[in-house]
Amino acid sequence: MSNESETCLPTTTWFLYSEVENEPLGRYRKGIPEVGGQIEEGQGFQSAEVVSFEELRATCAMRRFKVALRLIS
């Protein structure tokens, strides 16, 4: 059986956007995003919650995600 969080691609990149204004908030490298998950100490924010995400087309052995964040602080 395969695990959903496992991938043959060696890395993932999240392209972060604010939930309300859809402004870019930088990049983040971690596994697969999860709605409700939290990110600490990003570019320009201390804490944020993942509200939605969509997987973009993979390129150069990298899975890419567009991730909408609700800024907490």
C-alpha dist (Å) from residue 11 to 3, 45, 46, 47: 16, 24, 24, 23
Identify the pLDDT of residue 2. Answer: 45
Assess whether pLDDT exceeds 90 at residue 49. Answer: yes
pLDDT at 11 over 50: yes
Asked if residue 67 lies in contact with residue 42, where contact means CB atoms within 8 angstroms, the answer is no
Closest residue by Cα to residue 44 from 66, 13, 23, 65? 23
In this prediction, what percent of the chain has a pLDDT beyond 70?
A: 86
Give per-residue pLDDT as tens, 17-37: 999 999 999 999 888 999 999
